[in-house]
Amino acid sequence: MQNERVIYLVDDDAAVRDSLAVLLSFEGFIVREFAEGRSFLETALKETPHCVILDVNMPGKSGIEILGDLDANHYPAPIFIISGQGDIPMAVQAIKNGAFDFFEKPFNADTVIQRVRESIDIYEKRQSGAAAAPAFAGQDLLTPREREVLQQIAAGASNKEAGRALSISPRTIEVHRARIMEKLGARNAADLVRIVLTGELQ
């Protein structure tokens, strides 16, 4: 069916896979499970799902390494990282390497479903070419997700508002904002707005 939304779920913990697969399947998603990174990469490089949920801590290839192999900053589908409470610095590193956002353990079922649905909506809009970012100097330095975050910042959105609009956490917005400012040589939000509007700093 054309409207089927496929999610790739990658985790070496069978109990985590089972619980998430049941949750997502109950909500109408088609879930394909992978117990390790190699088979996932082989599939994901040939067929793009609507969303990926990837454990950060796995034997063999870690979630961070998989993001690199997948070139996640330019991968079309949103990739959520599964992170334990002690893995937040690693989750932030994952975002820098292209992850869309992260889910902290223990999971809240309603939060997982809401954020997955909203991220897939963003993916589908991007696939249709909707809401393309305006051209500005330095745009080619940014990933597609960074350009979306910059659009929100330039529109005056706070981290919380931007996170709500893009279905990612305020902490993730902060990570993207710091990387955008570094790439564009901006010192503050006003510089970012100026770059978008005029292509120049002061």
Q: What is the CATH number of the domain that holds 186?
A: 1.10.10.10
On whether both 116 and 145 belong to a single domain, the answer is: no
pTM of the model: 0.75
On whether both 18 and 102 belong to a single domain, the answer is: yes
Domain end among 78, 104, 128: 128
One digit per residue, the tens of pLDDT, for the chain of length 202 reads 346 899 999 999 999 999 999 999 999 999 999 999 999 999 999 999 999 999 998 888 889 999 999 999 889 899 999 988 778 788 888 988 989 888 888 889 998 999 899 889 878 877 776 544 556 667 778 888 888 888 888 788 889 999 998 888 898 999 999 998 888 888 877 777 777 776 654 4
On whether both 155 and 181 belong to a single domain, the answer is: yes
Peptide bond into 89 cis (omega under 30): no
Residue range(s) defining the domain that contains residue 39:
6-128
How many domains are there within the chain?
A: 2
Residues 6+ apart with CB under 8 A from 23: 109, 112, 113
Domain end among 128, 152, 180: 128
On whether both 143 and 190 belong to a single domain, the answer is: yes
Residue 134, domain member (yes or no): no
Residue 133, domain member (yes or no): no
